[in-house]
Amino acid sequence: MSDAQPTGTSTKSRGLDVREARRDFPILNREIHGHPLVYLDNANTSQKPQGTIDTITHYYRDLNANIHRGVYELSLHTTRVYEEVRGKVRAFIGAADEREIVFVRGTTEGINLVAQTYGRTHIGAGDEIIVTTMEHHSNIVPWQMLCEQVGATLRVAPITVEGDVILDEYRSLFNKRTKFAAISHVSNAIGTVNPAKEMIAIAHEHSVPVLLDGAQSVPHFPVDVQDLDADFYVFSGHKMYAPTGIGVVYGKLNLLEEMPPFLGGGDMILTVSFEKSTWAPVPQKFEAGTPNVAGVFGLGATLDYLNGLGMSQIQEYEDGVVSYAVERLSTLDDITIIGTPRQRTGVISFTIKGVHPHDAGTILDRDGIAIRAGHHCSQPLMEFYGVPATNRVSFGLYNNHNDVDRLVAGLETVIEVFR
């Protein structure tokens, strides 16, 4: 097997062949409590294709060495593949330069990196940062921490009950004190696809840079950061069929070059003395210490796999499954779907009359159906809708209509039990 490559692709000449794709994910052969697994928690973490698993094994078995440090073959080879993956990420999200790609542990670390580097040097007392009501905690808490550190204020763009940002209200928040905006590309809780390009353009009219949380977008449709004109774009590997513990910060090169390091230590320095240290160029300046080399290898294999399938084909197929799920869930009288956004991808949240989400999730698990129950790290959004928690089903490229039918049958059982 070649380095950082999956074991083949799973496509037909037109569209996504989901039956073939499902064979690439070994965990889907499992039974849970005697039932075939139906995995509908992809917004939390997605399953991994065999090629990605094989690539990680291959790294540890045949190549294990650190990067950027050795003059021996294993280290040189591993460094070369590691940097090749950076190039694959650049191409996958349409960045202009490989130096704009920084490897981190995931979206959470990526947002904290931007908040504590760009934020600490550009945002001060009396300044304002804009977020939206639908943000994941990872795109709220780091900005709250920054506001407490420097004396800034967090402003929140409201949404409609359908789950769409009210653009006129969003636009009205910008003023001379606004220094940053951080918005989700896709809501992890209700699946809203925000009009990110328009929201970025509004911010740029006021010379305000924008960070997009792309954790729930890159698994589902093509992303082009240059077309969006995003200043920063962050996402996690584990939500897009890659390993845990690996993620990406994209930043425009001029912004990254002026930002101070996030962490200090080995591999992010140019020189060190007791009097003063100087920093390596980007992106190495932001990658202190030994990175998750195996995770980068796995991410590279996953990108090859997704490119083989085609992100547009994945988007078209998944949109059909989600639409079918909305249609089927809407036939159940005791089900209330939370949010009906203009554009949705990947995620449906709902409540069941008289049934706590945790009870529903537990009963469904007995039928081998894995869903999420809780506030989904979106407590302000739950408060907006007046619910403490919801059931959430989230879809990946391997889910099909049979999974939806199994879910609906399981929910009918839940409703009957509590009736």
What would the pLDDT profile of 257-296 be if each residue is shown by its tens digit? 999 999 999 999 999 999 999 999 999 999 999 999 999 9
Residue 8 is predicted with a pLDDT of 34
CB 135 within 8 A of CB 378: yes
Which candidate in 253, 288, 332, 377 is catalytic? 377
Residue 4 is predicted with a pLDDT of 43
Residue 14 is predicted with a pLDDT of 56
SS3 of 17, please?
coil
Residue 232 is predicted with a pLDDT of 98
The predicted model scores a pTM of: 0.94
What would the pLDDT profile of 334-355 be if each residue is shown by its tens digit? 999 999 999 999 999 999 999 9
What would the pLDDT profile of 354-389 be if each residue is shown by its tens digit? 999 999 999 999 999 999 999 999 999 999 999 999
**How many residues are recorded in the chain?**
419
Helix axes 73-93, 293-309, angle to 10 degrees: 40
Task: Give the C-alpha separation, 73 to 375, whole Å.
Answer: 49
Q: Which helix (H) or strand (E) holds 270?
A: strand 269-272
Residue 419 is predicted with a pLDDT of 80
What would the pLDDT profile of 395-406 be if each residue is shown by its tens digit? 999 999 999 999
Task: Give the C-alpha separation, 140 to 99, whole Å.
Answer: 27
Q: Does the domain at residues 55-307 carry the CATH identifier 3.40.640.10?
A: yes
CA distances from 309 to 9, 18, 21 (A): 7, 10, 9
- For the segment 298-321, the average pLDDT, to the nearest whole number, is 98
Residue 72 is predicted with a pLDDT of 95
Residue 69 is predicted with a pLDDT of 86
Where are the domains positioned within the chain? 18-48+311-413, 55-307
The verdict on whether 377 is a catalytic residue reads yes
18-48+311-413: CATH number: 3.90.1150.10
